[in-house]
């Protein structure tokens, strides 16, 4: 009865061990395309992307008939995140007699963030001035598609769910929620919200493309 040489068996076992180790390392690598790596990437993105509302601040408005109103900033002023300051503004008006523009001082209002509001304020380079009211926490990865030739095979579109956490008390104000209807919807909805995020692969792993980032 013939038998397989022990050296052959040992070599086969060594090869299988190397393959198993390689496969295990690939699945554990931060460059692998799987739920684990996508979860890590999206968590990192959400940590730097809180839930916010856009606010036109700071701004100046002339008074018309002695009044200056803005439904958004006035609602924020009512709850103490914004303050109204009476100021004199320069205004250029056409003078039909002189047939030229004249610069006059006219009463107006300046809106600024209060000290309390500065806790929540940030000026995002893409989205502009914002007041952030909560954190977005990843719940799960639903699915992912790709790769896409346009990204050199390195892009994936990941569908995920998230929930709102650490909601600021001021965001629950009914009057403010009338001005920001989406705010009320996000806070009251107990079902995780579904979104998509495009992730690309770089030498540092998976991340969302950022206009000012160096990959």
Does residue 64 sit within a domain? yes
User: Does 93 fall in a domain?
Assistant: yes
pLDDT-derived band at 71 (thresholds 50, 70, 90) equals: confident
Choose between 88 and 19: higher pLDDT.
88
Phi and psi at residue 44, in whole multiples of 5°?
Answer: -65, -40
Whether the pLDDT of residue 1 is over 60: the answer is no
- State both tokens at 85: 């300051």
List phi, psi (to 5°) of 189.
-75, 115
Instruction: Report how far residue 108's alpha carbon sits from residue 130's, in angstroms, rounded to the nearest whole number.
Output: 23
Residue 103 lies in a domain: yes
- Domain containing 93 equals 59-117
Does the residue 201 lie in any domain? no
Overall domain count for the chain: 1
Rounded to whole angstroms, how far apart are CA atoms 69 and 125? 27
| Inside any domain, residue 66 | yes
Residue pair 109/63 in contact (Cβ under 8 Å)? The answer is yes
pLDDT tens-digit map of 144-196: 997 876 556 678 999 999 999 999 999 999 999 999 998 988 888 788 999 99
Question: What are the tens digits of pLDDT across the range 187-211?
Answer: 887 889 999 999 999 888 999 986 5
pLDDT digits (tens, 9 = 90+) for 96-134: 776 766 667 888 889 999 999 999 999 998 899 999 999
CA angle 113-117-123, nearest 5°?
70
Which of 8 and 123 is assigned the larger pLDDT?
A: 123
């Amino acid at each position: 009865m013939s038998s397989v040489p022990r050296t052959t068996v040992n070599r086969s076992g060594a090869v299988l061990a190397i393959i198993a180790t390689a496969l295990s390392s690939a699945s554990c690598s931060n460059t692998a395309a799987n739920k684990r790596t996508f979860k890590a990437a999206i968590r990192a993105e959400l940590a730097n992307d809180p839930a916010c509302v856009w606010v036109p601040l700071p701004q100046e408005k002339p008074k018309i008939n002695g009044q200056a109103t803005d439904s958004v900033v006035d609602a924020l002023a009512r709850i103490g995140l914004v303050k109204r300051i009476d100021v004199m503004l320069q205004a250029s008006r056409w003078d039909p007699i002189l047939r030229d523009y004249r610069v006059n001082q006219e009463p107006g209002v300046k809106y600024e963030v209060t000290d309390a509001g500065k806790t929540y304020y940030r000026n995002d380079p893409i989205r502009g001035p914002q007041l952030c009211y909560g954190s977005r926490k990843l719940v799960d990865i639903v699915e992912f598609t790709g790769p896409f030739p346009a990204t050199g095979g390195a892009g994936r579109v990941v569908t995920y769910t998230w929930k709102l956490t650490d909601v600021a008390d001021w965001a629950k104000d009914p009057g403010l929620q009338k001005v920001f209807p989406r705010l009320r919807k996000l806070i009251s909805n107990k079902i995780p919200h579904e979104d998509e995020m495009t992730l690309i692969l770089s030498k540092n792993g998976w991340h969302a493309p950022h206009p000012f980032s160096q990959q």
